[in-house]
Amino acid sequence: MNPNQALWEKGDFTRIAESMRTSGDELVERIGVTEGLDVLDLGCGDGTTALPEARRGANVLGVDIARNLVEAGNKRAADEGLTNLRFQQGDASDLTDLADDQFDLVVSIFGAMFAPRPFDVAKEMMRVTRPGGRIVMGNWIPGDPTLVAQILRISSAYSPPPPEGFVSPMTWGVVDDVVARFTAAGISEENIRCEPDTFVFEAPVSPTEYLTWFRDYYGPTMNAFEAAETNGRADELFAELDALFNAQNTTGDANTTAIPATFLCIEVNV
């Protein structure tokens, strides 16, 4: 199977997504999603931003590579009676099922950044967006001191080196790379805006228990623990991540977790 798909079908990302709902809703509010807008939410997971987009009256298509997340998203939409939202499987690097100029807004929050072939991703997002429309991406930033970049940095020290030719998803958090990809897709540089923003992970459990959700349900962290286990270093990895999660918790209460993480918010006018 496509390793990108296998990574995200592993475990159960919905368990992590539960801790992302409030910030997801606030981000959709900041993006400015309005009634009647045709929206593509790419790498949508189980709908952390797609449901808030649909609740605001947009016509939303969620596309994700992971079949279990597509199914979970369709269930959430049905449970909420959102007839203006549906989810289907697709690959952000090759949106063959989608026509040119189909959407007013393409949103991808920590989603399309994980697809292979980033130049193709920019080209595809651009192709399906109508002239006058917008693309909004949220991408983690390499080397950033906050949670997600640090989880990936720590995990990589316990994991085998990536295959030759692998382009790190984190390069989507580097302004020069973002500009190179969208200009290659035909966008002029003055129509690309990049600004740091903050997303808060919230869970009604201690930071240590919250870390076990990543270890047990989040594909990339599960892989890091599997690699560490084979080298007898799983306890060391847990201890390093535990120190990170506890140091970054802002609740002041040992039994609840709120950890802010900085990301690069990119807005492209098509």
Ligand X SMILES: C[S@@+](CC[C@H](N)C(=O)[O-])C[C@H]1O[C@@H](n2cnc3c(N)ncnc32)[C@H](O)[C@@H]1O
Which contiguous run of DSSP H or E holds residue 217?
A: helix 207-217
Asked if 69 is part of the footprint of ligand X (rule: CB under 6 A), the reply reads yes
Nearer to ligand X, 5 or 191 (CB): 5
Binding mask 108-137 for ligand X (x = CB under 6 A): -xxx--xx----------------------
Which residues neighbour 148 within 8 Å (Cβ) at sequence distance 6 or greater?
Answer: 110, 140, 261, 263
Scanning 90-98, 177-185, 248-256, 259-267 for contacts with ligand X by CB under 6 A, the matching segment is 90-98
Give burial (CB, 10 Å; 0-12/13-18/19+) of 26.
middle
Give burial (CB, 10 Å; 0-12/13-18/19+) of 7.
middle
Which residues neighbour 117 within 8 Å (Cβ) at sequence distance 6 or greater?
Answer: 93, 167
Asked if 48 is part of the footprint of ligand X (rule: CB under 6 A), the reply reads yes
Asked if 51 is part of the footprint of ligand X (rule: CB under 6 A), the reply reads no
Smallest gap from Cβ 1 to ligand X, in A, equals: 13
Distance between CA atoms of 229 and 95, rounded to whole angstroms?
Answer: 37
Number of C-beta neighbours around residue 13 at 10 A: 23
Distance between CA atoms of 64 and 145, rounded to whole angstroms?
Answer: 28
Does residue 111 contact residue 136 with C-beta atoms inside 8 Å?
no
DSSP state letter for 146: S
Asked if 37 is part of the footprint of ligand X (rule: CB under 6 A), the reply reads no
Q: Which of 33, 65, 211, 244 is the binder for ligand X (CB under 6 A)? A: 65
Q: Which of 11, 12, 17, 149 is the binder for ligand X (CB under 6 A)? A: 17
Smallest gap from Cβ 232 to ligand X, in A, equals: 29
Scanning 91-99, 179-187, 231-239, 254-262 for contacts with ligand X by CB under 6 A, the matching segment is 91-99
* Positions in 92-111 near ligand X (CB under 6 A): 92-93, 109-111
Smallest gap from Cβ 16 to ligand X, in A, equals: 7
How does 79-98 read in b/e, with b if 16+ C-beta sit within 10 Å?
eeebebbbbeebbbbebeeb
Asked if 268 is part of the footprint of ligand X (rule: CB under 6 A), the reply reads no
Q: Which of 12, 53, 91, 144 is the binder for ligand X (CB under 6 A)? A: 91
Q: Which parts of this chain interact with ligand X (CB under 6 A)?
A: 4, 8, 13, 17, 20, 24, 43-45, 48-49, 64-66, 69, 91-93, 109-111, 114-115
